[in-house]
């Protein structure tokens, strides 16, 4: 081991003593995503569950300059999304939820907004973070990806990001016609039932692997009070 590697290991050990998990910038989801965008030639990002535009703003800061289409159904979050996207001609925003079947459906709005879902939140989630509790229910327009993404929207290399608090598989199932156009996928996967009836990590992974995708990166997300992982963020690409 060289001197540089020894220094880095010492810093990591000091961080661990202080309860901080230090890692190289290269070993992060953000850098893995950057590498994927460059290597695959990504020219359209579909941002499902955009909330206030945090994800789209992040990939802009990371250097992505292609087109973005963001979907968000909560009116107050959508207004923040509108403000975030102002002045960005390649960032399109749409006010609806996405799912397996179209219609008007009840949507449970959480205290912190970003934990809102078409599904009911469970005590496994609220016991860890109280602000994930639902404070109201609103009716929202739900479309499928096949409905929401037109021929003129399609790119040559599409990256689909899905963060919908338990309904991720329904979003994927609503993309029957455009699914072959999707080249990479970024998805939040739950290891336990944080939302009632949600498909968990192995179900969604099996669905994507059966469709020809392989996982290229997984990173710890939401954790319990005793340090157990409850959610992870994962990147997938087509196997060819």
Q: What is the pLDDT along the chain (240 residues), one digit of tens a residue?
A: 555 444 334 444 444 444 445 455 568 999 999 999 999 999 999 999 999 999 999 999 999 999 999 999 999 999 999 999 999 999 999 999 999 999 999 999 999 999 999 999 999 999 999 999 999 999 999 999 999 998 788 878 999 999 999 999 999 999 999 999 999 999 999 999 999 999 999 999 999 999 999 999 999 988 998 889 999 999 999 986
Asked if the structure places residue 94 within a domain, the reply is: yes
- Does residue 182 sit within a domain? yes
State in Å, rounded, how far the first CA of the chain is from the last one: 36
Calpha distance 162→94 (Å, rounded): 15
Domain count, the chain: 1
Structure tokens at 51: 């909330």
**pLDDT at site 26:** 66
Residue 132 lies in a domain: yes
At 156 the pLDDT is 84
Any domain includes 20: no
106 backbone dihedrals φ, ψ, rounded to 5°? -70, 140
Q: What is the CATH number of the domain that holds 194?
A: 3.40.50.150
Give the pLDDT of residue 13: 47
Q: Is residue 21 part of a domain?
A: no
Determine, yes or no, domain membership for 159: yes
- Which residues form the domain of 225? 28-238
Take residue 52 and report the two structure tokens written for it: 């206030």
Residue 12 confidence (pLDDT): 45
Q: Is residue 130 part of a domain?
A: yes
User: Residue 121 falls within a domain, yes or no?
Assistant: yes
């Amino acid at each position: 081991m060289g001197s540089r590697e020894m220094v880095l290991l010492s810093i990591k050990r000091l961080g661990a003593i202080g309860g901080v998990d230090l890692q190289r910038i290269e070993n992060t989801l953000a850098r893995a995503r950057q590498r994927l965008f460059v290597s695959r030639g990504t020219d359209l990002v579909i941002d499902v569950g955009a909330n206030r535009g945090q994800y789209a703003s992040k990939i802009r800061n990371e250097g992505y300059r292609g087109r973005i289409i963001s979907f968000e159904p909560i009116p107050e979050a959508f207004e923040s999304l509108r403000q975030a996207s102002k002045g960005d001609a390649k960032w399109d925003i749409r006010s609806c939820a996405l799912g397996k079947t179209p219609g008007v459906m009840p949507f449970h709005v959480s205290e912190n907004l970003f934990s809102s879902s078409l599904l009911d939140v469970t005590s496994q989630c609220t016991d860890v973070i109280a602000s994930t509790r639902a404070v109201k229910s609103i009716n929202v327009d739900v479309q499928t990806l096949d409905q929401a993404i037109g021929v003129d929207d399609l790119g040559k290399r599409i990256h689909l990001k899905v963060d919908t608090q338990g309904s991720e598989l329904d979003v994927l199932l609503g993309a029957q016609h455009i699914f072959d156009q999707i080249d990479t996928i970024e998805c939040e996967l739950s290891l336990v039932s944080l939302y009632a009836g949600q498909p968990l990590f192995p179900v969604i992974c099996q669905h994507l692997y059966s469709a020809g995708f392989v996982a290229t990166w997984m990173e710890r997300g939401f954790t319990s009070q005793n340090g157990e992982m409850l959610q992870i963020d994962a990147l997938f690409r087509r196997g060819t």
